[in-house]
Amino acid sequence: MSNMPPEWAPHSATWMGYPSAAYDGCGVSTEEAQQAWANVANAISDHERLFMLCHPTQKTSAKKRLSSAIELVDYSLNDAWLRDTGPTFIIESNRLVGIDWRFNGWGNNTQLEWQQDAGIARFICEYLDCEARSSTLTNEGGGLHVSGQDQVLLTKTVQLDPGRNPDWSQSDVESEIHALLGTERAIWLERGLYRDYEENGTRGHVDIVACFTPNDDVLFHEQTQEQHPDHINCRELRAQLADAGLNVVPIAAPKVLRDNYNWVDYSYLNHYVCNGAVIVPTFADPNDGPALERLAEVYPDRAIRGIDARVIFAMGGGVHCITQQQPLA
């Protein structure tokens, strides 16, 4: 029987990708983006093994910024969102298997190149000499969260996106997800956060909105400020989770509302749980402290490490978006 372990289960490693360039118009430089990714990688490498996919042209930069403990793996990647392009790992009969979802640039919602990234999941599985199990579902790792028991969080504007899976019904998606991940109950959100529907957005990834915890609660991104477009949206999403019978534990969004571009989607929910630590995005914001305290309550046996993630969010994602766990088989 297959099972996707929850993120807080023991890892054998983490996978990341080293960015080759910042996006035009995002307001950050390539050097800033590379250092932001490196800060996350270096923190994780204090706690577990870390593999970093790196374009051959960027190895000098990577070696300068990354801890010597990090293992560089050559790959001509287009982009660096390994949560979405890397394999979703499961355990089956005590062996590691990587799910290779179809990837098409978040429903063709980008003008950026992504064709090389569509091969990352299979490449990693070949590197690890583990089975790559192909799915015909277009999906990304940031579009789901599992409880470790039988539940999975999904979003209708992701898995049922006409740009991803035009011929799939909700029942079809659930059957595929359950068969591959070992889950039994899908909990669907209607949509994601406001900014995620712009060009280069994911159209609603759940990993910036909500996630399960070891005690079966669901942590939830709560936008408390009425002027933000996500204020009403989050109220509706929280009600959907509660109606599903889940115990919702809110974490207030940062107080900052806008960056130089638009309404922000800064979220503490886009954290990463590794062996012995939780790597949490922070924003030089008054709500950083309360968010870190709440996560310390959820994970009392782990170090809670805040990493300034404003550069990563300017690029379109967060800490969880750039990491992919390899569970211990």
pLDDT at 1: 78
Is pLDDT of 25 > 90? Answer: no
Q: Please report, rounded to a whole number, the percentage of residues in the chain having pLDDT higher than 70.
A: 100
The helix, strand and coil proportions of the chain, stated in percent and rounded to the nearest 5, come to: 30, 25, 40
Binned at pLDDT 50, 70 and 90, residue 293 comes out as very high
Closest CA to 323 of 28, 70, 25: 70
Is residue 237 a contact partner of residue 229, using CB atoms and an 8 Å limit? Answer: no
Task: Give tens-digit pLDDT for 41-64.
Answer: 999 999 999 999 999 999 999 999
DSSP string, 57-111: GGHHHHHHHS-TTSEEEE---S---HHHHS-EEEEETTEEEEEEEE-SHHHH--S
pLDDT tens for each residue of 171-221:
999 999 999 999 999 999 999 999 999 988 999 999 999 999 999 999 999
pLDDT recorded at residue 194:
97
Average pLDDT over residues 250-279: 97
Cα gap 114→136, rounded to integer Å: 18
Take residue 324 and report the two structure tokens written for it. Answer: 């992919």
Fold of 2-327: L-arginine/glycine Amidinotransferase; Chain A (3.75.10)
Q: What are phi and psi of 220, to 5 degrees?
A: -140, 135
pLDDT reported for residue 193: 98
Label residue 98 by pLDDT band (50, 70, 90): very high
Distance CA 195, CA 203 (A): 9
Tell me: pLDDT of 122 over 90.
yes
pLDDT band (50, 70, 90) for residue 322: very high
Q: Is the pTM of this model over 0.75?
A: yes
pLDDT at 24: 87
Instruction: Say what the pLDDT of residue 211 is.
Output: 98
- Per-residue confidence (pLDDT) for residue 21, from 0 to 100: 95
Residue % of the chain over a pLDDT of 90: 96
Catalytic (active-site) positions: 321
- Residues 67 and 7 sit within 8 Å (Cβ to Cβ): no
Question: What gap in Å lies between CA 224 and CA 211, rounded to an integer?
Answer: 19
Q: In the prediction, which pLDDT does 261 show? A: 87
> Which ranges constitute the DSSP H helices of the chain?
30-45, 59-65, 82-85, 105-108, 120-128, 156-159, 170-181, 230-243, 288-298, 310-315
pLDDT at residue 111 greater than cutoff 90: no
pLDDT, position 230: 98
